[in-house]
Amino acid sequence: MPLMAQDQKSRKRFAIALHGGAGKSPTDEDAPAVMKAMNEALDRGVKELEAGGSSLNAVEKVIRFLEDDEHFNAGKGAAFNSADGHELDASIMNGKNRACGAVAAVRTVKNPISLARLVLEKSKHVLFTSDGAEKFADEMGDKIERVDNSSFNTERQKKNLKDARKRATRAVETPYYGTVGCVALDSAGDLAAGTSTGGITNKKPGRIGDSPIIGAGTYADNATCAISCTGTGEQFIRHAVAHDIHSRLAYLKQPLGKAVEEVLYKTLSAGDGGLIALTADGDIVMEYTTEGMARAAADSSGLREVKIGR
């Protein structure tokens, strides 16, 4: 549900929301660490925006922090694919001019969100994948930290892989997905959005979900809103979810809350996932149709909220 009334007229000086993935809620064992990380990530984003930093900077800093935390399925805690390796995806978009950058199936980039931003700023393209993305990272030199693919290994994801491989013969609980994302509004009135993920456990090599697809998992336009999605990527791609919500605001003049509700509950199927969204007035919506979604938000009026379940 919206955190602020949609008819509120005063625009916030800044606002920010982030998510740590929709799906099954974190285990009791992991919940404290997830809450701690969400709080610290929010603090980093708020600090950047309070100091007059750009929404792009806030989004990148928040996501980099979450990529470095193994409790999320992005960066350090990325899911294993069916070849026992990791392929990471990320995208970022500037609502001021709809400039965007994305990378998919990268294997040696410690922080894919930063490489995505360099695609935005240092290339004439939008999306690099696999070997092309790795080569672009080579060209960026010391701007991008590189690591061995095995550095993304975690015991949690090893267990998820083992469980996923059992699903062909028996039912196994859906895991906590752990994709991360952030949307922000800065004091200049500019929106930005970003998303980063390790994908689906046991995915086929080369599979790409919605997170690096502009218009599906990520979108930002100062005239409407900034959005970051999480869940079953194929569904978000099929329905161009992020762009659909933007279009509902742009053409149907729907309030953000209604647009999100119609897409999540009518266009998508129950359990497909969730999203965070933010307008240029600072209205925030964080909604999902799964068991839980780690999420947090804050703004210049004093709002602060951090939750990982219902």
Per-residue pLDDT of the chain (310 residues; tens, 9 = 90+): 555 443 444 678 999 999 999 988 888 888 999 999 999 999 999 999 999 999 999 999 999 999 999 999 999 999 999 999 999 999 999 999 999 999 999 999 999 999 999 999 999 999 999 999 999 999 999 999 999 999 999 998 999 899 888 875 544 455 556 899 999 999 999 999 999 999 999 999 999 999 999 999 999 999 999 999 999 999 999 999 999 999 999 999 999 999 999 999 999 999 999 999 999 999 999 999 999 999 999 999 999 999 987 7
Selected catalytic residue, list 179, 195, 218, 232: 179
Supply 20's token pair: 């740590």
Alpha helices, DSSP H only, in the chain? 31-50, 55-67, 112-122, 130-140, 155-166, 233-238, 241-251, 256-262
Amino acid at 129: T
DSSP conformational letter for 174: P
179 is catalytic: yes
Q: Locate the DSSP E strands across the chain.
A: 15-23, 88-94, 99-106, 127-129, 180-185, 191-197, 218-220, 225-231, 273-279, 284-288, 292-299, 304-307
Supply 117's token pair: 């931003």
Domain spans, the chain: 15-307
Residues 294 and 17: beta-carbon distance below 8 Å:
no
Supply 198's token pair: 């390790």
Residues 56 and 117: beta-carbon distance below 8 Å:
yes
Domain 15-307, classified CATH 3.60.20.30, yes or no: yes
Token look-up 């791609």 returns: 237
